[in-house]
Amino acid sequence: MERTRETKSQELIRRLKYNKSAVFGLAIVVILILCAIFANFIAPNSPTPSPPELFKALKPGFWSEDGIEEMPLGADGLGRCVLSRILYGARVSLTAGFVAVGIAMILGITFGTIAGYYGGWVDAVVMRIVDIMFAFPALLLAIVIVTVLGQGLDKAMIAIGIVYTPQMARIIRSSVLYIKEMEYIEVQKAIGSSDARIIFRHVLPNSIAPVIVYGTLMLATAILDCAALGFLGLGAQPPIPEWGAMLSKSYSYIVSGAWWAATFPGIAILLSVIGLNLLGDGLRDILDPRLKT
């Protein structure tokens, strides 16, 4: 068992190497994670200087002669370094993404496994609930949950986690249904293994592939949705350097000529989401050829 898994992961790496776009995606994701971890070492300035340096407000970056040297990407409306805030923002966005997807995974795997493994009325009930949740556009459902819970980054993460649960549950369920019919599961049942043992030892480990693939893709949309909530003022609250919130605070300066404060956070969102999407697509091609679109 152990050995096959090792070869599997070796094979994964080998095949990933041949998928150029996946490698590119992986590179972006790795850079993103490094930025997030080492933000306090890389960032040239504090993301929330105290007391604030208001006199630097809306100063341009390296491309201009009026720029401030230590702020290569310019300053925002409160004189804070845009680059530093983006770097710290990676930490915020990644954490939010991971927590949200984590919540979706825990809930989704629980419900999906129960529904798929036991079938019958349990399955019917769980899947109807999933259907109902699918009747809402994801962002709208997240907004509704935030309306009830209140605004804030923590609540936005929970909301997004809940919104993604049905998707995860559906994926797990279909994978469980597939595995359940396999012969060795029948054998396990025949020799009297308990349900819990079968689920944890045999069913779940075999559902890992779709969880990884969809987890990665979900991470991309989670970051996007979290930024969207931040943009609408329902997510991260100041002074947290969250990309979506940074954008919404500074896009009114575009007309005044200060385009940088709104442009760069958007690029950061775009690049991270592209990275995760490319990686997710690549992983899907390798791990789950059945799902290839």
CB closer to another protein out of 193 and 253: 253
Interface with another protein, residue 20, by CB under 8 A: no
Token code pair at residue 286: 């390798």
Q: Do 211 and 218 form a contact (C-beta atoms < 8 A)?
A: no
Contact between 21 and another protein per CB under 8 A: yes
Which two structure tokens, joined as six digits, stand for 264?
């760069």
Q: How many CA atoms lie within 13 A of 235 on its CB side?
A: 34
In the complex, the smallest distance separating the C-beta of residue 75 from another protein, rounded to whole angstroms, is: 11
Regarding 254 and contact with another protein (CB under 8 A), the answer is: yes
For residue 205, state whether it binds another protein (rule: CB under 8 A): no
Contact indicator for 174, 113 with CB cutoff of 8 Å? no
9 versus 293: smaller Cβ distance to another protein: 293
144-163 residues in contact with another protein (CB under 8 A) are: 144, 146-148, 151
Please select the residue that binds another protein; options are 98, 118, 178, 259, rule is CB under 8 A: 259
| Residue (of 218, 276, 270) closest to 244 by Cα position | 270
Binding segment for another protein among 91-99, 173-181, 196-204, 251-259 (CB under 8 A)? Answer: 251-259
Query: Rule CB under 8 A: is residue 291 a binding residue for another protein?
Result: no
CA-to-CA distance for 63 and 53, rounded, in angstroms? Answer: 21
What distances in angstroms separate CA 120 from CA 116, 126, 169, 190, one per listed residue?
9, 10, 16, 21
Selected from 231, 242, 260, 283, the binder of another protein by CB under 8 A is 231
What is the rounded CA–CA span in Å between residue 266 and residue 274?
A: 12
Task: Report d(CA 141, CA 46) in Å as an integer.
Answer: 35
In the complex, the residues that contact another protein under the rule CB under 8 A are 21, 48-52, 54-55, 57-58, 77-79, 128-129, 131-132, 135-140, 143-144, 146-148, 151, 220, 224, 227-228, 231-234, 237-239, 244, 247-249, 251-259, 262-263, 265-266, 269-270, 273-274, 277-278, 281, 292-293
